[in-house]
Amino acid sequence: MPEEKEVMGLDFTHLERLEVPRRPQLYTAGYTGKKPAMLLAVAERLGAVIVDIRYKPFSRAPMWTRASMQRVWGERYVYVHSLGNVNYKGGEVIFQDLETGLRTVRSMLLGSQPQLLPEFLRSEPGVSVILLCGCMEVANCHRRLAAEAIAARMGIEWRELTHEDIMGVPLESSKKKARGGRGGSGAGSLIQPDMFR
Q: Which backbone phi and psi does 125 adopt, to 5 degrees?
A: -75, 0
pLDDT for the residue 6: 44
pLDDT for the residue 5: 44
Check: CB of residue 167 under 8 Å from CB of residue 161.
Answer: no
| Residue 14 within a domain | no
pLDDT for the residue 143: 98
pLDDT for the residue 137: 93
CATH number of the domain to which 91 belongs: 3.40.50
Q: Which residues contact 62 (CB under 8 A, 6 or more apart)?
A: 68
pLDDT for the residue 7: 33
Q: Which residues contact 86 (CB under 8 A, 6 or more apart)?
A: 55, 94, 95, 96
pLDDT for the residue 55: 97
Enclosing domain of residue 92: 24-179
| Residue 95 within a domain | yes
Q: What does pLDDT average to in each consecutive run of 10 residues of the chain (197 residues)? A: 46 78 94 93 94 96 95 94 96 96 94 79 86 95 97 95 88 48 31 31
